[in-house]
Structure 1
């Protein structure tokens, strides 16, 4: 526990039973304690890439995006920002787009150029 203390990571002792390994999966990320690196497991990376590709396809095909679609991708990308910190500067465009729904989950809006550029950056 002393090794991860400075990281302030919420380690669940009941779940992990203090079974540390050099590389282990925790809170959806791959932790390499020896090299002090955190990365996304490959299956999670492909899952998030699929979300981004779905959004780009919707924009390309002029299909309206629901508030739930935007919230889902926004939440996923926020989670990724824990590992890829530079991604946080690319979230405001998505947050901005989400604000145009005014909480109305029943309308669909078409994506715009800045949203496309942001999603391409994530891809």
Structure 2
């Protein structure tokens, strides 16, 4: 992943249940271990709203056996609907790669949010 794009991911705001989360910062996560996943804008390239909605429905179908809640990420004009999914981080990585995502946010109890980069460097 390009350094500029990684900086954007790290600076993004992530919202879950009205709480604001930022990579590597307090507040520490108090919930069960989880991963923030999306199917929007694969490889960080903007796609039309209808396409993103269809891909999100496909992600929801893939999550049918996992508890999840709606979340949001981004800032300014680049906002994405996310899913906070109660699952092992490795399983989340598999799904994120399937939906061509560059990174995921991993939440572990009593730890700050962790950004895990999945994309290879250019």
Which range, TM-score by smaller chain? Answer: under 0.3
Tell me the TM-score normalised to structure 1 length.
0.24
Tell me the TM-score normalised to structure 2 length.
0.24
Q: Which has the higher strand share?
A: 2
Q: Which has the higher helix share?
A: 1
